[in-house]
Amino acid sequence: MIRRRLSCVLAALVLAASACGGASDERSRNVEIPAGAADESTTTDESSSTTSTTTPATSTTATTALSTTTNAGQSTTTTEAPSPLPPNLITFAWFSSADDTNDRIGLIVSQPTSNPFNGNVTVKQTGGSGTLTTTELNTGNGSSANDSGSKLFTVPKSIINRSLRFTVTFTSSNGAYPSYTGTNFPIVCGQGNYNAADGMIPCTPAPPGKFVAYRQAQEPDPCPPGAYQPKPGQMACLLAEIGRFVSGPGASSQALAPAGSFVAMLGERTPTLCPKGTFQREAGQSSCMRANPGQYVPTQGSAQPETCSAGQYQPEFGKSSCIDAPAGSFVFAEGANAAMKCPVGRYTSTKGQSECERAEPGHYVASIGAVSQKKCEAGSYSADDEAIACTNASAGSFIADDGAIAEMPCPGGTFSSDEGADECTPASPGEFVPDDDRTAAVRCAPGTYQPDAGKSSCTDAPRGHFVSLAGAIESTPCPAGSYSDRSAAIECTPSPAGRYVPTAGAKFATSCPGGTTSKIGATQCTKISVPTTAAPAAQVTTPTTTATNSGDSSQTTSTVPQRRQARSLTIPKSLRVGQSRTITAPGSKNADGLAATVEVQTPKICTTQNSTKGVVLRATKAGACRLRIQISGDSAFNGVSYTATVQVR
C-alpha cells in the first residue's frame, strides 16, 4: 500500500501538467484506471454479519460446460462452456455529490485486453429493489475511455452508507463470456476522495491544497512545493504557472513573482531575482527587462532601473554601472548614452565631469577634446577666457613672459617693428623713437642730434653750433667767420660785410670798428683805404650760379662782377616724409638788400609756407622735390633765379 501511494503521488505531479488547462467538473475525467487492476474491498456477509476481506463479488449464476454421452458408450462429445468473467473486473467508487439529493458513483470496468467482452451491465442495490443503472458495453477491444473506465450514475444520498452494496448482472452479447451475476460489490472512495477509516464510503473530498491520486484512500496528500490545488476533491495538483510560484506544501493558491523577480518555468518553488543590469517593474512576469542605454541596475532584484548621472554615460543595454566621461569629455545631462568632447576653448583635466572648464585669460585651447589649457607664449596674449588662440603683440608693443593677458607698449626710446615681439629694441645714438609711434627708430633731423641710445627725442643744436646731416650724435661749433644766433641750425651764417667773427662757436657777428671794414665771412676787419680818384661806375652783368655742397645741404652762390659776393641760400639735400626746414633768404635788407621767392614745381612731394624767418619747406611724400628760387631786391642781384632738388624719403 505504501509503495502504491508513493507511485500515485508521483503520478499526480505528472497529471498536473495537463490539469493546468483546467479541471472538469466531471471528476470521472480525472480518473486513471489501469486495465486489469483489482482493488481489495471489505464486504459484509449478510447471513453471518461478520466482516472479512474478500473479492468484490459473489457469483450466484453461471453457465456450466455441456457434455453428451451415448448409452452404448461408443462415443462422447464435449462442448466447452464460455470462459467466466475475469476476477476483479468491476469496481464501484464514490466520486462526488451530484446535487442535494444524489451522489455520483462510478462503475469502473477493467476490460481485459486479450479477450474483450461486449454486453449489458445492470446494477441494483443489493437487498434493494429497482435498477440503479444499465450500461451497454460494446468496446470490441476495451481501448475506448467511454467503454473501459468509469461509467457514472447517480445514487440517492439516502442509501449511501457503509453497508451499501451493489448487485451486478452481466449479459454477454457475443457469447464470449457466460452471463454473470455478482452481489455484495462494495463502494470505495474514488480518486480525489478519502475515508480515514478504511477508504470506503462515506467519503470526504480532498480539501483545497491536497489531492487523492488513487481509490480507497484513507488520507489526502498535500500538494508538493511548486504545485497547488484551489478546488476540493481533486486527484492531482496543478503546477505553478509561469510567472508564479508555490513555496511550501499544501498550497491552495499560487503566488505572483514579485516585482524585481521572475519565474520562467512551470512548477517553481521560488522566484528568481532579476540579475544585475536587468529589472522588472511588474509582478507575475516570466522574465526581466534589460536596462536601456543611459541606465543601469547595480543590484539583483531591482524593480526599476537607475539613470546615469551627469558626468556619466552608458552606451549599451543591460549594464550594472555607468561609465565616467573621460578627461577631455563631458556629459551635461542625466541618462546619456555617450560622452561629448570638449569644444575648442574648453577642456577637462579629470574624468566624470558634467561640463568643461573655460580656458583662462592668458591661456588658450586650440583643439577639441583637450585635457588641459596652454599658456600663451611670450610675444602673444589672450585677454578673455575661452580663447582658442593667442593674439600677437602689435608692432610698437611687446610681451616678455608666457601667460600674458595684455600687451605692453614699448618703453620710451625703444621700438618693435614686427608683431609678436617679446622685447623692444632701443633707438641707437643719432636716432629717437617718437612717443606716438614706437614701431621704428627715426634718425635725428639736421639741426638736432642725440648722443645716447634709447631716447625718445633729439636735442637741438645750441646757438653757435649747427648739425647739417641727419642722424648726428653731436653738434658742430660754427667755424670762425660764421655764427648761429638760433638753436637747431643746420648751417652757420657767414658774418656779413662790415662785421666779423674771430672765433668758432659764435652766436653773433661783431661790427667792425670805425675806420675798418670786412667782407662777408670775415674773421677780422681791415682798415679802409681812401681812393685818390673816383671809381668807375659798376658794370652789371648777367648773374651766374655755382653749387657748393656742405653737409647734406645744396648751397647756391650768386656772384656779380665788381660787387661783393652775397650770402648763400641754404637748401637741404634730403628730408624724411613729415619733416620741415626753413630756407633763409640770401642776405638781409640792412646788408645786401635782397629777398627770395621759392616756387615748388612738384606740389605732391613738398610744399612751402612763408614765415618771419624765411620760407618753410615741408616734405609730404617720398620722391624728388624740385624748387625754383627767384632773388629780388635793390642790389645788383635782383632777378637772379636758379633751381634745386631735395630728395624726400
pTM score of the predicted model = 0.55
Task: DSSP for 568-597, please give it.
Answer: PEEEESEE-TT-EEEE--SS-TTTT-EEEE
- Cell numbers for 248, please give them: 511550501
Beta strands at 90-97 and 187-189: parallel, antiparallel or unpaired: parallel
Out of 172-181, 326-335, 574-583, pick the least confident. 172-181
Rounded CA separation 462/476 (Å)? 9
Average pLDDT on 186-196 reads: 92
| Cβ-proximal residues to 582 (8 Å cutoff; 6+ apart), any chain | 611, 613, 614, 615, 616, 617
427-505 and 41-63+80-190 share a CATH fold:
no
Answer yes or no: are the C-beta atoms of 629 and 641 closer than 8 Å: yes
More confident residue, 407 or 603: 407
Task: Give the residue carrying C-alpha cell 680818384.
Answer: 533
Give the pLDDT confidence score for residue 184 in this predicted structure.
Answer: 82
Q: Is 335 left (phi over 0), alpha (psi -120 to 50) or beta?
A: left
3-state secondary structure of 117: coil
Average pLDDT on 57-66 reads: 40
Among candidate residues 552, 547, 556, 549, the one with its CA nearest the CA of residue 579: 552
Question: What band does 270 get if pLDDT is binned at 50, 70 and 90?
Answer: very high
| Cβ-proximal residues to 615 (8 Å cutoff; 6+ apart), any chain | 582, 583, 585, 596, 598, 608, 609
Quickly name the fold that domain 427-505 has. Answer: Tumor Necrosis Factor Receptor, subunit A; domain 2 (2.10.50)
Task: Give the residue carrying C-alpha cell 486527484.
Answer: 235
More confident residue, 186 or 629: 186
Rounded CA separation 345/385 (Å)? 8
The answer on pLDDT for 624 being more than 80 is: yes
| Cβ-proximal residues to 513 (8 Å cutoff; 6+ apart), any chain | 525
3-state secondary structure of 11: helix
Q: Name the residue ranges covered by the structural domains of the chain.
A: 41-63+80-190, 427-505, 544-649
Average pLDDT on 368-389 reads: 96
Average pLDDT on 603-615 reads: 78
Question: What band does 135 get if pLDDT is binned at 50, 70 and 90?
Answer: confident
Out of 28-37, 168-177, 476-485, pick the least confident. 28-37
Would you say domain 41-63+80-190 falls under CATH 3.30.300?
no
3-state secondary structure of 473: coil
Residue 29's φ and ψ, nearest 5 degrees, are -70, -20
The answer on pLDDT for 538 being more than 60 is: no
As a three-state string, the secondary structure of 98-136 is CCCCEEEEEEEECCCCCCCCEEEEEEEECCCCCEEEEEE
Percentage of the chain surpassing pLDDT 70? 73
- 146-179 pLDDT per residue, tens: 334 568 888 888 888 888 888 888 888 777 778 8
Give the pLDDT confidence score for residue 531 in this predicted structure.
Answer: 56
Would you say domain 544-649 falls under CATH 3.90.1150.10?
no
Average pLDDT on 506-522 reads: 92
Task: Give the residue carrying C-alpha cell 476495451.
Answer: 142
The answer on pLDDT for 319 being more than 90 is: yes
The answer on pLDDT for 473 being more than 90 is: yes
Give the pLDDT confidence score for residue 82 in this predicted structure.
Answer: 60
Out of 125-134, 191-200, 251-260, 341-350, pick the least confident. 125-134
Average pLDDT on 457-473 reads: 95
Question: What band does 639 get if pLDDT is binned at 50, 70 and 90?
Answer: low
Average pLDDT on 351-374 reads: 97
Q: Return the bridge partners of 610, or none.
A: 615
Among candidate residues 359, 350, 328, the one with its CA nearest the CA of residue 341: 328
Average pLDDT on 109-129 reads: 77
Rounded CA separation 504/502 (Å)? 7
The answer on pLDDT for 544 being more than 50 is: no
Q: Is the peptide bond preceding residue 202 cis, with omega within 30 degrees of 0?
A: yes
Rounded CA separation 90/181 (Å)? 12
Considering only the C-alpha atoms of the chain, give the largest distance between any 2 of them, rounded to a whole number of Å.
239
As a three-state string, the secondary structure of 532-563 is CCCCCCCCCCCCEEEEEEECCEEEEEEECCCC
Give the pLDDT confidence score for residue 91 in this predicted structure.
Answer: 84
In angstroms, the Cα distances linking 634 to 250, 318, 597 are 152, 116, 15
- Range among 130-134, 145-149, 342-346 rated most confident: 342-346
Side chain identity at residue 289, one-letter code: M
More confident residue, 251 or 543: 251
Out of 5-9, 31-35, 305-309, 329-333, pick the least confident. 31-35
Average pLDDT on 115-144 reads: 71
